[in-house]
């Protein structure tokens, strides 16, 4: 299958793209590469995949011609980035995504797999959430994902099949590693300081999923019969992989030698609180076989941090903190305030 992966140079994309190539797909990427200076652990392996260096807002129909499917990952990828400029979050994550889907349908792309999020469910519930549960987003990021989902449902036709993959909170080692994700961050703190530093009171529930398992879900959708995935939403993860944040902290403390759980001085409740049932995707798509657990992920992260030798400034400084990297690029006038490259020679 000829597949376009948007955001192929990001945290998830740099893991998903080689997996898609290994599965036998003919892959092309599309990414403006805002984080080209944030590669973790050496050089970036592009798996031999050609990449269209372009902002998702600037895609034209010709860019999409000839593809059987689009795996749409590109966007502002977390809540701090979304809060940086809520208007830009709506422009990039919502409106540009809907426009991308409209152009894809126009040129005959048959499948459109959207990287949504369990953050759609948002806040304040203790019951198990399924794909039919109400949305309750509490951030611009979550609101943008909900808006795209609703638009994609309306775009579905006999010839255009959107699938909505609501991934749990991601973790795992990547060439474009993010340290703002809970398991990645807790393990980094433990490695560097011997403190598993909790910045909330540790009580909220959160589902977690390794980025390799997340990638397996996207590939399983590509390989599934159309009738199983057409206009369907799936929570991506394992039902058994729901944890309270303090439980994740204890897992990290058990993995990182001589570390202990500590609460930050400002630690308090977190409005984001949700437990997600992921049985539907496992039951519907035999090709989806998740293998990771939070404990195995914490061990992978710790071993990687030990091998690379990260320091506190690496994950608390601008190199790997997405929002701080963007601010640094804007301060140096390399990036415009609308998050487009100032020079066409750099990014798009």
Task: Kindly tell me if the per-residue pLDDT of 145 is higher than 90.
Answer: yes
Angle in degrees, CA 235, 78, 242, rounded to 5: 40
Task: Kindly tell me if the per-residue pLDDT of 192 is higher than 50.
Answer: yes
Query: Which pLDDT value is given to residue 80?
Result: 62
What is the rounded average pLDDT of the residues 88-101?
96
What is the pLDDT confidence band of residue 348, given thresholds at 50, 70 and 90? Answer: very low
Element (H, E) at 183: helix 182-193
Query: Which pLDDT value is given to residue 45?
Result: 81
What is the reported pTM?
0.94
Tokens representing 19 are: 């997996």
d(CA 326, CA 329): 5
d(CA 51, CA 40): 20
State the Cα torsion 166-167-169-175 to the nearest 10°.
-140
Token pair 């710790």: residue = 302
| Top-confidence range, 32-41, 151-160, 268-277 | 151-160
Environment class of residue 334 by beta-carbon count within 10 Å: exposed (0-12), middle (13-18) or buried (19+)?
A: middle
Task: Kindly tell me if the per-residue pLDDT of 277 is higher than 60.
Answer: yes
What is the pLDDT confidence band of residue 311, given thresholds at 50, 70 and 90? Answer: very high
What is the rounded average pLDDT of the residues 115-144?
88
What is the rounded average pLDDT of the residues 64-75?
98
Q: Nearest CA to 80 among 331, 326, 328, 329?
A: 326
Per-residue pLDDT tens over the stretch 11-23 = 999 999 999 999 9
What is the pLDDT confidence band of residue 215, given thresholds at 50, 70 and 90? Answer: very high
Task: Kindly tell me if the per-residue pLDDT of 81 is higher than 70.
Answer: no
Task: Kindly tell me if the per-residue pLDDT of 87 is higher than 90.
Answer: no
What is the rounded average pLDDT of the residues 32-43?
90
Token pair 């019951």: residue = 127
Task: Kindly tell me if the per-residue pLDDT of 287 is higher than 90.
Answer: yes
Residue 74's SS3 state is: coil
Query: Which pLDDT value is given to residue 85?
Result: 75
Task: Kindly tell me if the per-residue pLDDT of 346 is higher than 50.
Answer: no
Return phi, psi of residue 267, to 5°. Answer: -55, 130
Indicate the average pLDDT of the chain: 92
Range from 41-50, 56-65, 170-179, 294-303 carrying the lowest mean pLDDT:
41-50
Task: Kindly tell me if the per-residue pLDDT of 281 is higher than 90.
Answer: yes
Token pair 């590669």: residue = 39
35 contacts 322 by C-beta, under 8 angstroms: yes
What is the rounded average pLDDT of the residues 120-130?
82
Query: Which pLDDT value is given to residue 319?
Result: 84
62 contact partners, CB below 8 Å, separation of at least 6: none
pLDDT > 90 fraction of the chain, expressed in percent and rounded: 77
What is the pLDDT confidence band of residue 324, given thresholds at 50, 70 and 90? Answer: confident
What helix, strand, coil percent values describe the chain, rounded to 5?
A: 40, 20, 40
Longest dimension (CA), the chain: 58
């Amino acid at each position: 299958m000829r597949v376009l992966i948007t955001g192929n140079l990001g945290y998830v994309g740099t893991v998903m793209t080689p997996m898609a190539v290994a599965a036998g797909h003919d892959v092309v990427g599309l990414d403006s590469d805002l984080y080209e200076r944030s590669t973790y652990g050496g050089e970036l392996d592009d798996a031999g995949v050609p990449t269209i260096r372009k902002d998702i807002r600037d895609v034209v129909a010709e860019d999409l011609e000839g593809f059987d499917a689009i795996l749409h990952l590109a966007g502002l990828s977390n809540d701090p980035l979304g809060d940086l400029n809520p208007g830009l979050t709506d422009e990039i994550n919502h409106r540009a995504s809907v426009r991308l889907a409209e152009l894809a349908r126009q040129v005959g792309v048959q499948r459109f797999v959207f990287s949504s999020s369990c953050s759609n469910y948002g806040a304040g519930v203790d019951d198990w959430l399924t794909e039919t549960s109400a949305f309750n987003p509490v951030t611009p990021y979550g609101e943008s994902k909900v808006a795209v989902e609703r638009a994609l449902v309306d775009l579905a036709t006999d010839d255009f099949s959107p699938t909505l993959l609501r991934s749990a909170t991601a973790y795992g080692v990547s060439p474009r590693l993010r340290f703002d994700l809970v398991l990645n961050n807790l393990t980094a703190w433990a490695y560097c300081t011997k403190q598993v530093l909790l910045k909330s009171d540790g009580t909220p529930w959160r589902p977690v999923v390794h980025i390799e398992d997340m990638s397996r879900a996207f590939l399983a959708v590509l390989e599934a019969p159309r009738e199983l995935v057409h206009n369907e939403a799936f929570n991506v993860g394992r039902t058994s992989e729901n944890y309270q944040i303090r439980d994740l902290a204890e897992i990290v403390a058990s993995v990182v030698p001589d570390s202990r759980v500590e609460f930050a001085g400002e630690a308090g409740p977190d409005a984001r609180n949700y437990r997600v049932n992921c049985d539907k995707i496992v039951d519907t798509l035999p090709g989806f076989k998740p293998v990771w657990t939070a404990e195995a992920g914490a061990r992978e992260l710790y071993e990687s941090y030990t091998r690379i030798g990260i320091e506190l400034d690496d994950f608390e400084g601008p190199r790997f903190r997405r929002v701080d990297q963007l601010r640094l690029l804007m301060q140096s006038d390399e990036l415009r305030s609308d998050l487009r490259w100032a020079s066409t020679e750099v990014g798009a």
